[in-house]
Structure 1
Amino acid sequence: MAESKLTLKELSATPHFTRRSAQMAGTLTFAISTAMLGNAYAEEVALDKLVVEDERIAADSNPYAEPGAPYKAKTTSDKRRVREIADTPQTMTVLTKDTIEDSGKTELEDILSAQPGITLGTGEGGNSFGDRYIIRGYEARSDIYTDGLREPGLITRETFALEQIEISKGPSSTFAGRGSTGGAVNTVTKKASMEDDFVNLEGGLGTNAAQRYTVDANRVINSDLGVRFNALYSEADTPDRSPAGERRTGALLSGVYQPSRNTVLSADFYHFRADDRTDPGYAYDRSTGGFNEYDYVGQNGLDFQRSEADIFTFTVEHDFGRGVELQNKTRLGETANEYVVSAYSERFSNNLRSFGGWQENDYLGNQTNLIIDRELFGKRNSIVVGVELAREGVDSGSYTRVDYNSFDLDPYNADNGLWEGRVERNDANAELELKTVSAYLMDTVTLTDQWEVFAGVRYDHFDYSLKAIPRGESEFAEYEYTDGFWNGHLGVVYSPWENGNVYASWSTSSNINGGEADAGTNCGYGGLCNADDGSYTDIKPEESVNLEIGTKWELVDDKLLATAAIFRTTKDNVIEGADYESAGSGNTGKNRVEGIELGLSGKLTDKLNVQAGVAIMDSETLDSYFDGTHAVEGRGGISYPNYIGLPKANFAEKSANVQLSYQATPAFAFGGTATYSSEILGGQPDQGSSGSVKLPSYTVYDLHASYAFDEQLSLSANVQNLTDEQYYTAIYRGGSIVYLGDGRSASLKLAYKF
């Protein structure tokens, strides 16, 4: 007799399925079986056996994780990715809720910087202080998404309301639109549920005056309506760098309503405030290659970094049946980032430098997806047709120190008195409006049991308008232009084995002139560039092409995913610019990054969970205006070398992260994390690095443990940077800012669920 299994997880995917539905299904199965037995004596009937397995996931668990393997994500949250991660022809690193919680890291910046292939950039004179990511050597500070929609602004991002973090590697503009040369990051928020009522309370204390409190509560109003509320209060000093520190408050209110069997409406409102004192770390001494170490030099009452976010998202989903589904998302958001950050600079007459700026962003976006999953021409087709509309507005300006008095104190033993005075916020010196209309078509076709093909194409049309005061001038200039570009994505998956496949993919992306909204007319930092002749409208979008060959294997009864890929990304028509000037050299550059990336996530054994990755990469500048013939004299007397043949700046050739968790008993688990990065060279984005400024390699170890007293009460502990390693995560182009990694810290967290 054949046996087909229908799990409760599969049943729960149907509309209105609840625990009561499960009980009814079981009762109905029993009744039918009894009735059939009554006829068994009359004639022999061959029936498939229906087995109902209780694999229901708790309402507060990650719905995208593999059941029984909390470190392994089975799917992404983006419905446009119509196949499971194991069958998607692209490198993807997905961090589940359990992975994030066990790591003990609460800032998106700290989590991402530990992942292989990702480094950090610094705030500088040409771009804002804030979360700045570099994926596979390419800027990604504007390639951050939340629930599939672009997130506005360069702000601090927290994890208290996150369910999952999805990192796609390589160009994927079919999904993301402009940018995403090295990859893109999508954060997934916790959603309201109509399954269960629960309240999770967590409180934690730690070294460096750390305290953190969160609430996660879900309420089922009725069978069609559920609401969820997440809240955060957190504050802590930066380890060994007090009074540098942070204070965060936040809330996420979400709701889901199902007015009919096939229609679901959901909405959420995200509110966040960060009031920090940022520590820029140490300064690099070019003459010795060492670091000038000094205490935190931020000025009491003057230095600050504040982030704000208020973002509303509304989603409508309707299932027409027969494999046709419509999804529409609308987002309206405002963010702000303002800062005054003091740093000592060996290069500038041994003086204290002050970086100040503010940025306000507003975003209105709408995305509509029609998903058709049905048989066409005898083959299964999973088609996505989409349209995306967006309007982004960015106003930015600076701060000025007034009533300034300097003190002749030893900068290596600062006592918060290096200068005194006050700061004033200036009017905006740049106002940007970017309107985008996009359309895309994607299809995943199952040709045979072994062959599957993915193909996608996207067109983006934009209107760019910038009113700004160029560097060195006092009057506003207005810049306007419009353009459009095509991008494509093609992947082939071959699965001759039951649990494994090999794949090949080709994908492209485009970056527009002035695409980094925080950079204004600072050409060298992603702002709007003027070519030598003063023209900016003739500068074409930068173009990137990625080639990747890889393999993915589901092992240990599908509880472990192993991946490996080799890739090459080539970026052409690179817009080059020196320093903060608005003049550049047009599309004169070309560079390449290639390498291999390995990944492992899930269960190694019944008790051992793993999330691991290794990236080994190489970069090279293939063409540049700065070829020796056109070498120019930079600020501070720096002579730019011939960049051709040089590696990329802000780039680690080798990086790795391994996180393990061992469930020693049903109540007790423990584990640790090791993070490694090879040396990082300083320099300007998308220009070769001469190696005159560099950071050493480092390895950092973390520990975590947890004990569950019962189903409701648990205690967890984390130790970050166990060996108190002194390490550096990012370096300013000239070396005067070297971000210092956090020293050792420890924390305890008590969690109660009811």
Structure 2
Amino acid sequence: MKISPIAFAVVASLASASLAAEEATNDTDNGLDFELNIERIQVTGMNFNNYKVGSSSGAMRGDIALMDTPQSVNVIPDFVTDEQLATNLSEVLVNDSSVTGGSEKWNRQVFNIRGFELDSGSGFLINGHQQFSHYVQPIETLQQVEVLKGPSSMLYGQSGPGGLINMVTKKATSETMFDFGFDTDENGSTRFQLDAGGALNDAESIRYRTVLVKQDTKYWREYQDGEGDDSQERDRFLGYLNLEFDLHDDVMLSLTYDYTDDKTGIDRGGWLDDNGDLVGDREDIWDMSWAFTDNEVQNLGADVTWFISDDWKMTTGYNHQSFTRQRLDSSPSMVAGMDPTTDGYQIKAFDRHDDWQLKTAYMDFTGTIDAFGMEHQVLVGANILDYYYGLQRDSGDAQMVMPGDNVPRPDLDYNNGTHSESTYKHYGFYVQDLMTINDQWQVLAGLRYDEQKKDGEGENSYAVSPKFGVIYSPADNGSIYVNYAQSFNPQSIVNSDNDVNDGMNLDPEYGEQFEIGTKWELYDGGLLLTGAVFDTTVTNVTVREQLDQPIGDHEYITTQSGKQHHRGFEVGAQGQVSDNVFVTSSMMYLDAKYVTSSEDTEQLDGKTPVDAPEWSANIWTRYEVTDDVALNFGAIYVGERFANTQNTIVKDDYVRFDFGAAYSFAVHNTDMNVRFNIKNLFDTEYLDGGTNTDVTVGDGRHFSLAFEAKF
């Protein structure tokens, strides 16, 4: 079905206003309140009103309310994504229209914020620690996901101009809890979840939280290699443990460990012809059924919180992420001038093993002082990152295959192939001051120095990243802000044997942004309305293009020149709009362009980056019919996007409607919940993220059924 993007965007963004027929009676502001020196997260059982969160731990590296944050931030609580039966980070981030999805090949997910692609090495955080995210991030351990929009280099160092994704994990609890969950779908997929916590001693000074997940997923697309009607499958195990120790009345130690084992068959996505039409059927997987990727990820971390005085706090932490992956890939590709369905296509198998080791540490001092007639909320800190990457790879020869051909698994072993390594260390020092001049005016000023040292000569990078902001509060429940921020994102080398510039060192990308926005809390703080206008420019842009005609074995070329200029506006609503209606909604308009004068990339001047729609919007609502029955309605609109950098191939816009229903009941004092969801209610055919060579084909109508018991 077709719908005006402007009409849908306006309806989605303003839906909360039309629903507000009566004033909310509950204040759902979840700002952190330190009644004791040591913060303890209490779990209070079922709570259907938790759509709005009052603070973001990542936006200012501290417990500062969103209303006092001169930056666009969207916090997506786990309550909302549990309602949606989300199974991965992509299904969480559809709740923010400034985030659009990219390719999902190789069992990983790519995202763009405000049209800028998030780097898998520097675009993601877990509890403020940089997290290498070259795999599908587990979401069952998350308390909330924070979308920090715009440059955040002043606080986190290397990061992109679009923003960051900060994933906040569930914390230990002193209250005993034991939750069991199970969900399934029409394909026969299953997911079992256990979430437990409580105190380990009578004094409640030792607490824990653990999460266990076993997931077996069957997908609807099928392999075409003559091995039968085999669909792609995924087998995943997740274990998570958080322990908290009160070492003293003012000192707390938190230890965290998580383990993920995630193995799946490979589906690189679909191919598009020059008209933007899908090649073959929607169900076709062009990879061989023996291709797979197997990820093993471990995180081991420790954090200490010390309340030095009533006004000052020190936090320090360390995290070691170990991420190893084996990928046996058939690497299918179309051959120029040939129809893959009738003339065949090419595969070139390889077996590779990747080893990433990421060690991060930080120390922050935060406090409040009164000076020069103002209150100062001060942050002084430093962080370090130690990065190692090792690659082993064994490659086979290219061969032509036809759909239905039975191609045997190749005799490849990465241990017999080539080996390469790379390392770097990144240091950062930062200071930030949020100055409260009076009840109406606040000023934010921050500065950071970064240094990245790599192996070899001439590869070190240095940067100074400032950030400034001003907040004006015309009323107790509203604020208007402006900010200026810069980003610094070092680039590595071109690491692709089918790229003309394989092995070329890349310079850092630098960005700057101006933003003006406003935030308002209505209905006794139950509803948060936000809006922002932004203008972002990036230099030294890295662009990877597919060649019109391959040069030998090279199909792509990576270059760095010119600029990207992105500007637009966004609005959002989150919270309670009546006694029994709740909403989370957002809308974005984006004008994204390359601006370049280089001879190498002059053909990109004025072009729009891949997967940067002009309009996007979303809405998810909850209507509580009774105390025990609730209904959900959601819709997602994504406008037209280009599938290649030359802007010759277009993916159509689409609207996807979702529906859900839940029933709560109790059996022998055990709270239970049954949920039934329909994703893509009207079975709309659409193309999701990715280019013309790896586009994600949107799911058809999808049914999910879930059961939860809280003991």
TM-score range, shorter chain: 0.7 to 0.9
For residues 12-42 of structure 1, what are the alpha-carbon distances to aligned partners after superposition, in whole Å with 9 as ceiling and x for unaligned? Answer: 6314799xxxxxxxxxxxxxxxxxxxxxxxx
1:376-387 equivalent positions in 2, closer than 5 A = 376-387=371-382
Distance 1:240 1:582 in 2: 27
Match of 1:417 among 376, 389, 406: 406
**Is 1:435 aligned with 2:425?**
yes
1:436-474 Cα deviation digits (max 9, x unpaired): 111000010100100011111111111112xxxxxxxxx
SS at match of 1:417: coil
- Taking the TM superposition and a 5 Å limit, the aligned residue runs for 1:587-736 are 588-626=561-599, 630=600, 642-683=603-644, 689-710=645-666, 712-732=671-691, 735-736=692-693
Structure 1 residues 624 and 68: alpha-carbon distance in aligned structure 2, compared to 1, 3 A threshold: same
Give the alignment partner of residue 462 of structure 2, picking from 484, 487, 495.
484
What SS class does the counterpart of residue 524 from structure 2 fall into? coil
Alignment of 1:270-419 (within 5 A): 270-286=258-274, 288-294=275-281, 295-297=283-285, 302-342=290-330, 345-348=333-336, 349=338, 350=340, 351-353=345-347, 356=350, 357-401=352-396, 407=401, 409=402, 411=403, 414=404, 417=406
Deviation at 1:574, TM superposition (A): 2.8
Amino acid aligned to 1:215: L
Distance 1:144 1:428 in 2: 30
Deviation of 1:557 (Å): 0.7
Where do 1:85-234 residues align within 5 Å? Answer: 85-113=66-94, 115-122=96-103, 130-140=108-118, 141-142=120-121, 143-194=123-174, 196-222=175-201, 223-234=204-215
Residue 730 of structure 1: how far off its partner (Å): 2.1
Q: The residue matched to 1:100 in structure 2 has which SS?
A: helix
More displaced stretch, 338-347 vs 595-604:
338-347
Q: 1:738 is matched with which residue?
A: 695
SS at match of 1:731: coil
CA deviation after TM superposition for structure 1 residue 301, in Å: 5.7
Structure 1 CA distance, aligned partners of 2:557 and 2:431? 37
Q: Which residue of 2 aligns with 1:509?
A: 487
CA distance in 1, matches of 2:31, 2:75: 21
SS in 2 for 1:730: coil
Give the Cα separation in 2 of the matches to 1:706 and 1:564.
Answer: 32
Measured in 1, the distance between the counterparts of 2:85 and 2:219 equals 15
Q: Is the 8 A contact 2:663 2:675 kept in 1?
A: yes
Aligned 8 A contact 1:239 1:743 in 2: no
Q: Distance in 2 between matches of 1:248 and 1:405?
A: 32
Aligned to 1:470: none
Shift of 1:114: 5.6
Q: CA deviation at 1:145?
A: 0.6
> Equivalents in 2 of 1:677, 1:269: separation in Å?
37
Cα distance in 1 for partners of 2:686, 2:240 equals: 34
Please, which moves more after superposition, 82-91 or 599-608?
82-91
Give the distance between the partners of 2:528 and 2:406, measured in 1 at CA. Answer: 54
Q: 1:522, CA displacement in angstroms?
A: 7.7
- Residues 31-81 of structure 1 show CA distances to partners (whole Å, capped at 9, x for unaligned) of xxxxxxxxxxxxxxxxxxxxxxxxx953568xxxxx984011111134724
Q: Which consecutive unaligned segments of at least 5 residues does structure 2 have?
A: 1-28, 223-229, 547-553
In the other structure, the counterpart of 2:17 is none
| Cα distance in structure 2, aligned partners of 1:490 and 1:201 | 46
**Distance across 2 between alignment mates of 1:283 and 1:581:** 15
TM superposition score normalised by structure 2: 0.85
Unaligned ranges ≥5, structure 1: 1-6, 19-55, 62-66, 466-477, 531-535, 632-640, 684-688
Q: Which residue of 2 aligns with 1:46?
A: none
Q: Tell me how far 1:132 sits from its aligned partner.
A: 1.7
Cα drift, residue 313 of structure 1: 1.0
| Structure 2 counterpart SS, 1:98 | helix
SS at match of 1:156: coil
> CA distance change for structure 1 residues 345 and 111 in 2, over 3 Å: closer, same or farther?
same
The one of the two structures with greater contact order (alpha-carbon pairs below 8 A, sep at least 6) is 2
CA contact (8 A) 2:287 2:331 kept: no
Q: Deviations over 1:522-552 (max 9, x none)?
A: 898998645xxxxx6xx4x321111111110
Shift of 1:378: 2.7
CA deviation after TM superposition for structure 1 residue 131, in Å: 2.0
Aligned with residue 251 of structure 1, among 219, 230, 239: 239
Going from structure 1 to structure 2, the CA distance change for 1:740 and 1:431 (only over 3 Å counts) comes to: same
Tell me if 1:559 matches 2:526: yes
Q: 3-state DSSP class of the match of 1:565? A: strand
Give identity over the alignment, percent. Answer: 23
Query: Aligned in 2, Cα 1:68/1:525: closer, same or farther, shift over 3 Å?
Result: farther
Return the letter of the residue paired with 1:623: T
Do 1:299 and 1:420's aligned partners in 2 also have CA atoms closer than 8 Å?
no
Q: Compared with structure 1, are the counterparts of its residues 382 and 243 closer, same or farther at alpha carbon in structure 2 (3 Å cutoff)?
A: same
Q: Which residue identity does 1:83 align to in structure 2?
A: I
Give yes or no for contact 1:363–1:390 (8 Å, CA) kept in 2. yes
Q: Tell me, what secondary structure is at the counterpart of 2:474?
A: coil
Preserved CA contact (<8 Å) 1:283 1:736: yes
Structure 2 CA distance for aligned equivalents of residues 703 and 337 of structure 1: 37
Report deviation, 1:239: 2.9
1:150: Cα distance to partner?
0.5
Partners in 1 of 2:245 and 2:636 — Cα distance?
42
Contact 2:378 2:432 in 1 (8 A): yes
1:14 aligns with 36
Work out whether residues 257 and 299 of structure 2, in 8 Å CA contact, stay in contact via their aligned partners in 1: yes
Query: Do the aligned partners of residues 319 and 724 (structure 1) sit closer, same or farther apart at CA in structure 2, a change above 3 Å counting?
Result: same
Q: Number of paired residues?
A: 653
Shift of the 291–589 alpha-carbon distance from structure 1 to 2, 3 Å rule, reads same
Q: 1:436 to 1:494 in 2, by over 3 A?
A: same
**One-letter amino acid of the counterpart of residue 552, structure 1:** K
Q: Aligned-pair distance for 1:424?
A: 3.0
Name the CA distance, whole Å, in 2 between partners of 1:93 and 1:692.
33
SS of corresponding position for 1:74: coil
For residues 92 and 620 of structure 1, what CA distance do their matches in structure 2 show?
24
